[in-house]
Amino acid sequence: MTSKVLILGGTREARELAAIAGGEREFEIVSSLAGRVREPVLPEGQVRIGGFGGTAGLRKWLTDNDIDAVVDATHPFAGTISAHAVAAARSVGVPILHLRRPGWSPEPGDRWIRVPDLTAAARAAAEHGRIFLTIGRQGVAHFAGLSESWFLIRAIDPPAGPVPPRHRLLLSRGPFTVARELELLREHRIDALVTKDSGGDLTVAKLTAARAHDIPVIVVDRPPTPEGADRADTVAAAWEWLRGR
């Protein structure tokens, strides 16, 4: 019997799981992307792109497509879709796993300023003159009012909304090397870094570089993990969960 699984994606972990499970005959995998990025890195196998239309839309989609299990492998900061996924899956009795990689931890020499959200991050950033903003394209508007500071904004695609008046946009997709991050900090005379606590090793080099340059890092804490889903923090654990279905 084939088990049909929806993987909510947009992360490397989601692509890895789709590649592993998609290679097994007993699984049929459909990966879903929000469609935010102009040229997304596509997972192997079937892919659908675009929102479902809230919890009700996702509930209908799960039923219409005879889905047997959902793995929410979206980014740790994609809180809305994660909440929708739990509500929709539970309402139709489909098991759901929330796969979320662990966050980063400070190391000796780090100067981290932990903040609860992007509003607080912007408040903390206002204390600094030349800021490396690495929170992705969404959320840059929180920093748009900081006219005294200069920003190096790095994102895959240009931000859609307002941006700080003094900035340079660097369109780039990870992974990034420590050598390149050190060069960016030096070249742009950066005196603070702003990041989400995304975790993983694709974008961790900036933290190593900031430590080496003794630069403070404003770290935005993750939103809470949604209640009501099983949990895994590695692709291997998620694969175990799927095989146990």
End-to-end CA distance of the chain: 12
Query: 94: alpha, beta or left, given left = phi > 0 and alpha = psi -120 to 50?
Result: beta
Map the footprint of ligand NAP across residues 56-115, applying CB under 6 A: 57-58, 74-75, 77-81, 84
Per-position x/- string for 222-241, each x denoting binding to ligand NAP as judged by CB under 6 A, each - no binding: --------------------
- Alpha carbons 59 and 64: distance in angstroms, whole number: 9
Residue closer to ligand NAP, measured from CB, 136 or 216: 136
DSSP H or E stretch at residue 96: strand 96-99
Min dist CB 58 to ligand NAP, Å, is: 6
Residues 196-215 that bind ligand NAP (CB under 6 A): 196
Q: How far apart are CA 218 and CA 156, in angstroms?
A: 20
Task: Supply the minimum distance, in Å, between the C-beta of residue 149 and ligand NAP.
Answer: 22
Could you say which of 8, 21, 115, 220 contacts ligand NAP (CB under 6 A)?
A: 8
Let me know the angle formed at the C-alpha of 176 by 127 and 163, rounded to the nearest 5 degrees. Answer: 40
Dist. CA 75–CA 192, nearest whole Å:
24
The number of beta carbons lying within 10 Å of the beta carbon of residue 177 is 12
Print the binding letters for residues 152-191 with ligand NAP: x by CB under 6 A, - otherwise: ----------------------------------------
Chain residues that interact with ligand NAP, rule: CB under 6 A: 8-11, 32-34, 36, 51-54, 57-58, 74-75, 77-81, 84, 136, 138, 196
